[in-house]
Homo-oligomer: A and B are copies of this chain.
Amino acid sequence: MRIGELAARVGVSTRALRYYEQQGLISARRGVNGYREYDEADVRLVVEIRSLLASGFSLEDTRPFLECLRAGNEAGGSCPESVAVYRRKLAEVDAEIRALIRRRAELTEQLTSARPGCVLSQEERNDHADDGELRRAGAPRRQTGTGRFLGGVVPALQDDRPDPGAA
């Protein structure tokens, strides 16, 4: 199929497809007229790209997933390089969440000091006490395993196990 059909099938612009190729993420054979020619494997690759982008990954992040698919794997995330990207992204998301929670606390603090009276709505009033709620969320004691959510400093990649299968 040509670029227009691929774009229509995946739901992406032709501009995006050419950009992906320019970034070295996908490639295309060329017909005698110079037109790009794609097959079903390319559909799979582009679907993978869009799926990962929708999950917040950058285009660069998708690279190991695509290589993983090209290597014959059914899932792009089943290779150790992909898992490493998953882990890094997870740590990034955790860091963002913590930063936002701190910002939220700042905001409510500013808001209450700006408004001496009781003006905050129920949701706004919740300042979750320095994300302490998150750490002890749903568990009377810490260290129950599933109740920690975000660790104090989010090690996430620095646990005792030697991380089997990293690049």
Q: Say if the beta carbon of A19 comes within 8 Å of chain B.
A: no
Q: By the criterion CB–CB under 8 Å, are A149 and B122 in contact?
A: no
Given contacts A55-B106, A90-B111, A104-B97, contact A122 B159 (CB under 8 A): yes
Q: By the criterion CB–CB under 8 Å, are B137 and A128 in contact?
A: yes
Q: By the criterion CB–CB under 8 Å, are A123 and B154 in contact?
A: yes
Q: By the criterion CB–CB under 8 Å, are A119 and B164 in contact?
A: yes
Which residues between 93 and 111 of chain A lie within 8 Å of chain B, taking CB atoms? 93-94, 96-97, 100-101, 103-104, 106-108, 110-111
A residues in contact (CB < 8 Å) with B? 55-56, 75, 77-78, 82-83, 86-87, 89-90, 93-94, 96-97, 100-101, 103-104, 106-108, 110-111, 113-115, 119, 121-126, 128, 132-134, 136-138, 145-151, 154-157, 159, 161, 164-165
